[in-house]
Structure 1
């Protein structure tokens, strides 16, 4: 099937409309399976609440952690949790790639007049991310109300940009790992540990060993997806570079991941072959 010729603007509008259809199906799923949705929300509240309890216990004994106080850490945790929830809810494709290849669904996606990666993202909405998304925003709002933060239109806009960058950075890192499945048969034993590394960036990087800080900043740059955006919002005079550095880094990371994906896709051979 040949795709109709469109200008790049028409193509963007077409893809936005198509992704809207994917989201419509996702919303219908949430409404149809109300019990599952409720369980997902409760699970998200419990998961995030347990970390808040942990932080409360810690700060009952120490006033600050690496110079950050309780509500600053809660805000940092809330932004990290929200970014992860966005990634899990809308960009869960890297976890499904191996299954698409093994069950032959990749063959079907290859012959459609829309990019394979776009389809994989469209099919990947994850129900369990809903609860964490709701509680993540609630935690950010709760902590921000206890902090002396100057909220302006630009700072609110930056929160939105930072959360999108967080989701894109996480997606790109995990996509890069999952693309290895085009060369080797099993990568899930690697992709899950890489995912868990993100949990470190819910806390100030200063509390970790320099080697781990370097790993999370330059090799697997999760810190750009959570710690540095939160640090800028909390202390803009100290982390001013993050206002442009985080979006710029996210663009570079996304482009690199897409290039690696393109190279991997060239190696794909049909399961029917």
Structure 2
């Protein structure tokens, strides 16, 4: 039955998108333009300097390109984390979710799934290809598989962090919490951590590990083998962060008594 419900979610979503194709196209283009702004910022910076902390223009473009892929997938799959506090906890829609025989968190994320951000992922892959071509890097047979694994790990980093932030709504009042603030920090992962001071670098690696969403795994595909160990830790960090975020969600859910209590 759980599989049928999940399948019905996906079917209804596809039907909705097909019914509003123009909106889907417009939103996809808007998301693509948003990602293009990130690239434009990099290009503007490199009109003034030859490199940033030893990283060339094409290397930064490659890292930004990698970053765009998990960032887009996160916005596609975990968009529901933005609505858990206000729509599901404060307004009580979680009560409706809890009576169904499907994992509540999975239901929320399925209800809020969005395909429009995937245009950013395609753009990111294109940027990686461009950067690697400019740097004379040829494709190795194992790279596509490793790319998928590392991207999955990067997405889980985001998913775990924002699931945990959403779960704070079980205790804290208010509709948004600190999620918008942390979301604004996600962009730090698209640049080499070597450009930041020691404390910031440490925070971006081990406290709010956004460096594993862009820089470390992205650098691997630019042949920066000195960072291979960090890149290899990406799926591990992703699994740990998501497991912690999910456990925190379950703890908060166990204390939930509905809007009428």
Relative to the length of structure 2, the TM-score reads 0.91
Structure 2, unaligned runs of 5 or more: none
Question: Are residues 1:60 and 2:35 paired?
Answer: no
Partner of 1:168: 156
Partner of 1:41: 28
Contact 1:82 1:133 in 2 (8 A): yes
**Structure 1: which 4+ aligned runs deviate by more than 6 Å?**
none
* 2:70 counterpart SS class: helix
How many Å separate the matches in 2 of 1:27 and 1:167? 23
Partner of 1:7: none
How many Å separate the matches in 1 of 2:5 and 2:143? 31
Partner of 2:202: 214
Partner of 1:239: 227
Question: Are residues 1:193 and 2:181 paired?
Answer: yes
Given candidates 132, 139, 151, the residue that maps to 2:127 is 139
How many Å separate the matches in 2 of 1:148 and 1:187? 49
How many Å separate the matches in 2 of 1:249 and 1:135? 25
Deviation per CA, 1:207-265: give whole Å up to 9, x if none.
11222112111111111121110112213421121353111111111111111111111
Contact 1:89 1:130 in 2 (8 A): yes
Relative to the length of structure 1, the TM-score reads 0.88
Partner of 2:248: 260
CA RMSD of aligned residues (A): 2.0
How many Å separate the matches in 2 of 1:253 and 1:207? 25
How many Å separate the matches in 1 of 2:5 and 2:127? 32
Question: Are residues 1:24 and 2:19 paired?
Answer: no
Contact 1:59 1:70 in 2 (8 A): yes
Given candidates 99, 109, 112, the residue that maps to 2:100 is 112
Q: 1:24 to 1:135 in 2, by over 3 A?
A: farther
* 2:162 counterpart SS class: helix
Given candidates 74, 80, 94, the residue that maps to 1:93 is 80
How many Å separate the matches in 2 of 1:187 and 1:216? 26
Contact 1:80 1:226 in 2 (8 A): yes
Contact 2:53 2:194 in 1 (8 A): yes
Contact 2:217 2:232 in 1 (8 A): no
How many Å separate the matches in 2 of 1:187 and 1:272? 17
* 1:241 counterpart SS class: helix
